[in-house]
């Protein structure tokens, strides 16, 4: 896509497709499933699910760190001063916090993975709540602002919750400039 003469597309690709969106499925799935397994383990009293969560969190953290490298590469290509740049910053920083909270949870579980302290569980569940917000922000970047996918994207499109059309705002802005 072009904004002020700058083409913004994913800089990190694998076989022609952006790498970051391919990689996020793994940590997101692993970390969310770990939190769900924790809930089931608490309700049913199944220590083996806590152990499974422990290892899913470890793998999810590793996957999240790898995915974040590719997300940072793509974020650096977004022009300064755009809504996309701001949303990308919140998305990346929020996901960094998610990884940190899960890392704390994992560390607290290390002495007894089959019997984690309540604080370890709370850190995981809080991280999942934040991840819901950061996932929405990632969706906003791709689906609403078209970062990395739409050559005619509007990097300053309004929030998708505003009910204003992204393309309509481009037309309105051009009309205001001409008038």
CA distance 37 to 115: 13
**CB of 63 within 8 A of CB of 27?**
yes
**Total Cβ atoms within 10 A of residue 93:** 12
pLDDT given for residue 13 in this prediction: 67
Structure tokens at 125: 């569940």
Note the Cα 45 to chain centre separation in Å: 31
pLDDT given for residue 133 in this prediction: 96
Confidence class for position 14, pLDDT limits 50, 70, 90 = low
Give the 3-state secondary structure percentages of the chain, helix then strand then coil, rounded to 5.
Answer: 70, 5, 25
pTM summary value: 0.80
**Total Cβ atoms within 10 A of residue 160:** 14
pLDDT mean across residues, the chain: 83
CA distance 93 to 98: 9
Would you say residue 24 has pLDDT above 90?
no
Note the Cα 25 to chain centre separation in Å: 10
Would you say residue 128 has pLDDT above 70?
yes
CA distance 167 to 146: 11
**CB of 105 within 8 A of CB of 124?**
yes
Would you say residue 164 has pLDDT above 80?
no
Least confident stretch, 6-10, 24-28, 73-77, 84-88: 6-10
Confidence class for position 177, pLDDT limits 50, 70, 90 = very low
Name 66's Cβ contacts closer than 8 Å, sequence gap at least 6: 23
Confidence class for position 19, pLDDT limits 50, 70, 90 = confident
């Amino acid at each position: 896509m072009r904004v002020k003469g700058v083409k913004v597309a994913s800089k990190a690709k694998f076989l022609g497709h952006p790498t970051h969106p391919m990689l996020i499925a793994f940590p997101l799935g692993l970390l969310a499933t770990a939190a769900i397994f924790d809930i089931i383990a608490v309700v049913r009293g199944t220590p083996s699910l806590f152990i499974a969560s422990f290892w899913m969190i470890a793998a999810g953290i590793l996957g999240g760190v790898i995915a974040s490298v590719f997300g940072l590469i793509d974020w650096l290509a977004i022009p300064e001063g755009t809504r996309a740049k701001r949303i990308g910053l919140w998305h990346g920083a929020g996901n960094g916090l998610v990884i940190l909270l899960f890392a704390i949870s994992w560390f607290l579980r290390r002495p007894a993975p089959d019997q984690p302290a309540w604080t370890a569980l709370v850190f995981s569940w809080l991280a999942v709540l934040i991840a819901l917000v950061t996932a929405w922000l990632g969706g906003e970047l791709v689906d609403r602002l078209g970062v990395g996918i739409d050559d005619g994207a509007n990097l300053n499109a309004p929030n998708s919750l505003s009910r204003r059309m992204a393309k309509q705002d481009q037309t309105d802005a051009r009309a205001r400039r001409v008038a």
